[in-house]
Structure 1
């Protein structure tokens, strides 16, 4: 029997795999929304990209992160909060911005 580096469920290491855009599901697999923002203690999910209300879930409820989804412990609803105005219309992408070159660092 091979031991894994961390438990398959309820691991704080799995929380490192959280990224915006993942589907948020409860214990039964019901869709709760998409990850909008990850704070120090809470995960914020939105039902659709331009939602004005987000749902707040404690990170302690995160039980498993798989490809494309994060599963939460229990079936309790989260607390509804107003969406962050700075990220209200933001659509999360995996595209990195282009690098800007300085005049001093360009070869002559």
Structure 2
């Protein structure tokens, strides 16, 4: 079974952190830093403090090491609030000896 020519939601599921992001002309926009439901957040190198964002609607094709986008527009600047730690809800560990009393 061949992939469709245009962006497929199945291809988008295979986007992972560290993949190269290239525009239609082959220019490297950066590497995938974070993926949300609507955007891919990219940074130029692994420790860069400047992040860009690209809408998922621009994804044209996903290859084993790169994400190819439609058009040649650069990535928009992303909010600095994304650079921090991603918070998750984790319950504290319970001491087994304290739980038995």
Is the TM-score greater than 0.5? yes
Find 1:53's aligned residue among 36, 50, 55: 50
Paired with 1:50 and 1:8, the residues of 2 have a C-alpha distance of 34
Ranges in structure 1 where 5+ consecutive residues have no aligned partner: 88-102, 104-108
Could you tell me how far 1:76 is from its partner in structure 2? 0.8
Asked if the contact 2:30–2:45 (Cα under 8 Å) also holds between the matched residues in 1, the reply is yes
TM-score by length of 1: 0.72
Tell me the number of residue pairs that the alignment of Structure 1 and Structure 2 aligns.
Answer: 85
Could you tell me how far 1:9 is from its partner in structure 2? 2.7
Ranges in structure 2 where 5+ consecutive residues have no aligned partner: 87-95, 97-101
Tell me what 1:85 maps to: 84
**Alpha carbon RMSD of aligned pairs, Å?**
1.7
Q: Does 1:23 align with 2:25?
A: no
Find 2:69's aligned residue among 44, 50, 72: 72
TM-score by length of 2: 0.76
Paired with 1:48 and 1:66, the residues of 2 have a C-alpha distance of 20
Asked if the contact 2:40–2:55 (Cα under 8 Å) also holds between the matched residues in 1, the reply is yes
